[in-house]
Structure 1
Amino acid sequence: MSSPEVVVIAPTPQRSGGSGTLSLLGNELATQFRRWRTWAMLAALALIPILLGVAIRLVGGSDPGRGPAFLDQITNNGLFVALAALTVAIPLFLPLTISVAAGDAIAGEASHGTLRYLLIAPAGRVRLLLVKYLGAAVFCLAATLTVVAVGTIVGAILFPIGPVTLLSGAQVSVGEGMMRVLVIAAYVAVSMFGLAAIGLFLSTLTTVPIGAMAATAILAVTAQIIGAIPQLDALHPWLFTDRWLDFGDLLRSPIVWDSFTANALLQGGYILVFGAAAIFRFTTKDVLS
């Protein structure tokens, strides 16, 4: 009589923390940028510099001091299309799209019934939150670069491109002017990181994505309204929107980095506070869907 066959099941190898996080982030970004909604939002942002450039080309430039910042400079130098479009997009359009991306991060998975399956994988709740936030931060960068890239292309097509006259009166070459536009794009992306953290936290509070999206967008608008009321100036330095438009120092010679640093510290504070709140909420809640 033959001896019974023994079957040995080898344990499934676990990925190290770093490689597992990168793999999870790669999957998150692939999923995010395969969605039609993501590309529709980026296309809507791309329309801002297109409409702005075409309108100025057909109607002509505005008088100095009228309209958004940099608008009166577009006819002299097409690079200012990107800067004017950013100024138009910052108060409403960028926050709106980022509210959608961040507010959907956790609530969207819960509403589709996929959140508990993500947590079954050896990812961990904190790591999943980190990956979701990084995905929202990448969208912040992609949204800002979309406005800048399309604005630069439209400006080059419709208007002359030449040396850039800075706010301090000095002129820099086209190459340096484009580099400063990219630095401003980085400034604006950093400005949106705090809003993304708020949206992620609100996304952990509900299983209805539209609720988290709407609440995040409303908070962005409310903070800007508070920032416009002089009687509440004691609150202004604490608002995550307070330094959204303070990138003028990046158009001086030499560049003054104080506003960039202050803005980064402000957004970092919001990331820490609302990131910690999101972790506490998400690690103590029962996930049923």
Structure 2
Amino acid sequence: MSRAEPVAAPPARAFALLGSELSVLFRRRRTWAMLAALALVPILVGIAVRIRSSSNGPAFLAAISDNGLFVSFTGLTVSIPLFLPLTIGVVAGDTIAGEASLGTLRYLLVAPTGRVRLLLVKYAGAAVFALAAPLVVLLAGVGIGALLFPIGPVTLLSGNTVGIDGFAVRALLLAAYVAVSLLGLSAIGLFVSTLTTVPVGAMAATIVLAAAAQILDTLPQLDWLHPWLFSHYWFGFADLLRDPIAWDSFGQNALLQLGYIAFFGGLAYGRFATKDILS
């Protein structure tokens, strides 16, 4: 009698599935095109300031001219309202609907994967992209800033000055803050993706919801709603540019995003667990 083939343990299968998901995600030309577009944001900011710097312009222009490291902060600030949500909408909206449109969703579920595990892996892939995206913006900003402008110690919003190492720590914290900020939107995109087999529709819906949340957050008549909007704390990372660091916004933002993850993750599971998979 031949010995049965060993079966991988559930955690091993989950990690293998996650590795496959990340491999597929970061081998797509679309993913690299979006990351390149994000990198272009601080590059264009740096070139624009270099070509036409003026002491009469906004304060951040003078700061960039004096220290190229500020290009990364400016690029991240410019990217948060539109460019980062747009890319997250594309990635998260494609998670389930993309597999359904390609006809591979049934194949994934035939394998010993399970619907819960597949949802978790798909969300984890979107979360990894949510971290990679702001890191690309920051690194591109540092690179173009060092190329076009002098770099040196950074003056924080509190008036204190930190060296390059202190800047590096805060830059990583900024990337982490923005990544956390995008996790709620990623959960929304995952849920929307379970509602359709048309990935473009799920992507568009997620992007529109991100824009709508930001518009609602600007209306004073809805000030009671603002703290509950997933975009409310997106610009709270300024507290990380103080000495000592103020962690209040980070904690409030993380708690809010966790609530969105739990709520829309539960909706995604409820929809996906009872959905007839036909493709």
TM range (shorter): over 0.9
Q: Which ranges of structure 1 fall in alignment gaps of 5 or more residues? A: 1-7
Matched, 1:170 2:166: no
Count of equivalent residues: 279
Shift of 1:237: 0.2
8 Å CA contact retained: 1:162, 1:173: yes
**1:174 to partner: Cα distance:** 1.6
The answer for the alignment partner of 1:136 in structure 2 is: 126
Measured after TM superposition, the shift of residue 173 of structure 1 is: 1.1
Which position in structure 1 is the counterpart of 2:221? 231
| TM-score, scaled to structure 2 | 0.97
Q: Which amino acid aligns with 1:260?
A: F
2-side partners of 1:197 and 1:115: how far apart?
19
What TM-score, normalized to structure 1? 0.94
Matched residue, 2:29 = 36
Q: Which has the higher helix share?
A: 2
- Once residues 117 and 42 of structure 1 are traced to their aligned partners in structure 2, the CA distance between those partners, rounded to angstroms, is 29
Give the Cα–Cα distance (whole angstroms) in 2 for the partners of residues 9 and 125 of structure 1.
Answer: 32
1:156 matched to 2:149:
no
- Residue type matched to 1:130 in 2? L
* Structure 2 residue 252 is matched with structure 1 residue 259: no
Moved over 2 A (4+): 8-14, 61-64, 69-72
Fraction of identical pairs, as percent: 63
What residue ranges of structure 2 are gaps of 5+ in the alignment? none
SS in 2 for 1:205: coil
Question: 1:56 aligns to what?
Answer: 49
**Alignment root-mean-square deviation, CA:** 1.3
Q: Secondary structure at the match of 2:209?
A: helix
Cα deviations across residues 64-109 of structure 1 (Å, max 9, x unaligned)? 6x4xx84441111111100000000000000000100000000000
Q: Which has the larger radius of gyration?
A: 1
Task: Report the 3-state secondary structure (helix = DSSP H, G, I; strand = E; otherwise coil) of the residue aligned with 1:244.
Answer: coil
Deviation at residue 231 of structure 1 after TM alignment: 0.7
CA shift digits 1:134-168 (9 cap, x unpaired): 00001111111110001011111111111111111
State the partner residue of 1:22: 15
Write the mapping of 1:1-289 to structure 2, written as runs, cut at 5 A: 8=1, 10-61=3-54, 63=56, 66=58, 70-289=60-279
1:40-68 residue CA offsets vs partner (Å, 9 max, x unmatched): 0001111101100000000004646x4xx
**Quick one: which amino acid aligns to residue 23 of structure 1?**
A
Asked whether the 8 Å contact 2:53–2:61 carries over to 1, the reply is no
Give the letter aligned to residue 155 of structure 1.
G
Change (3 A) 1:70 1:192: farther
